[in-house]
Amino acid sequence: MSVAPGSKGKVLLAYSGGLDTSCILVWLIDQGYEVLAYMADVGQEEDFDAAREKALKVGASKVFIEDLRRELVEELVIPTIQANAVYETVYLLGTSVARPVIARSQVAIAQREGCTHVSHGCTGKGNDQVRFELAYYALAPKLQVIAPWRIPEFYKRFPGRNALLAYAAEKGIPVSQTPSKPWSTDENLFHISYEAGILEDPNVTPPKDMWKLTVDPEDAPNTPENITITFKAGKPVRVTNEADSTDLSDPLDLFLYLNTVARRNGVGRIDIVENRFIGIKSRGCYETPGGTILRAAHIDIEGLVLDREVRAYRDEHITPVFGKIMYNGLYFSPEGDLITKMVPLTQTNVNGSVRVKLYKGSVSIVGRWSDTENLYDMEQSSMDVQGDFEPTDSEGFIKIQSIRLKKWGQKFQNN
């Protein structure tokens, strides 16, 4: 590793262009480090050129901007959909799924550039510090980590926004003139999160203008919109919408379109209180537009084509574990490696198409079919046609199932 004479080391900082990480960048330089800035394009609305210019202006020796959108969709988002994974039954893991690709790219650049350290701007109370640092240590055990918001010298010097603003003025760090929102956000192409500020009171209703991605369901179009999603081995491979002549098959384009159609129909909002990995309860509001549609469609097609016992095993042993691993930042771990290899094995027969209706925030399934899977037999399921099912067979099935229940019931009669 090449370190400039007199420098404490070379640091690759995960940089956002905002006040916090800009101050961290300059503070690290003040501490004697050479600082390189790294930004990940995971689909957030960001002026990357302006952020690059700002980082160089305040002292970064190099700036790296990596487009990770396709990696995020193909390697993290789609497997999460295949697993039907959520955290605590409702959170679609929007922040969590982006962290592995961001951390992996940061580590790769740090190693290529001969960095001795990596750094981030995560708070000392949140999940992201855990997610990033566990990934760093798994991927590059010898890299050292600088977490300013856990360093007393830093957080005591900057107890709030005003202290950061004063430091920015002192050091000539450009500060956006946009008024600060009374909450914080994190955005990628899968979702956006809102927390802190006024949202820390769990009984405060989020203001209407907080929601950035989706139209208010009450203001969404009065006419439903219908789309069709086709799955192959559990992966979305085609989306069509006759109303606007859409027909897409590229994974990234397909997902971005689902975001678009969900947003205009007010789909994907939730407001929850969750349990952070470090033990603190946190209130969060989330918009996951395209992901909400995909998950609903995927669950539905599985009902048609997936074997009952395979589905039950996956739902009990894979889905909750996958969600917990992603939420806790353990994607790069032995158990993470195991569980991600198991998911595709459950999806071999998940082939078919689902017709979806979007209307004022709701996602309704209105039909499904498969050209290749035949677990569903209309004649066998019909109440009007006997087909090849012999009703008398049910008598023996019921008798076998009742053996233990009769034994259980006898004890009440004997008493």
For CA atoms 134, 136, 141, 146, give the dihedral sign. Answer: negative
Looking at residue 176, what is its pLDDT? 76
CA proximity to 320, closest of 113, 57, 85: 85
Looking at residue 402, what is its pLDDT? 95
Q: Is 30 a catalytic residue?
A: no
CA 67-105-108 angle, to 5 degrees, is 135
Check if the beta carbon of residue 324 is closer than 8 Å to that of residue 86: no
Q: Is 99 a catalytic residue?
A: yes
**388 by DSSP, 3-state: which?**
coil
> What does the alpha-carbon distance between residue 343 and residue 350 come to, in Å, rounded to a whole number?
12
Overall pTM surpassing 0.85 (yes/no) = yes
pLDDT digits (tens, 9 = 90+) for 301-348: 999 999 999 999 999 999 999 999 999 999 999 999 999 999 999 999
Q: Is 104 a catalytic residue?
A: no
Looking at residue 7, what is its pLDDT? 76
Q: Which two tokens stand for residue 397?
A: 């099935």
Instruction: Say which residues have a Cβ less than 8 Å from residue 115's Cβ, sequence separation at least 6.
Output: 1, 9, 10, 11, 12, 36, 109, 143
Among the options 22, 105, 119, 128, which is catalytic?
128
Instruction: Say which residues have a Cβ less than 8 Å from residue 35's Cβ, sequence separation at least 6.
Output: 10, 11, 13, 25, 28, 29, 59, 60, 61
Looking at residue 379, what is its pLDDT? 65
Among the options 41, 61, 150, 184, which is catalytic?
184
Which of the residues in the chain have pLDDT under 50? none
Looking at residue 388, what is its pLDDT? 75
Q: Is 52 a catalytic residue?
A: no
pLDDT digits (tens, 9 = 90+) for 10-36: 999 999 999 999 999 999 999 999 999
Residues in the chain: 415
Q: Which two tokens stand for residue 91?
A: 């959170």
Among the options 52, 69, 99, 269, which is catalytic?
99
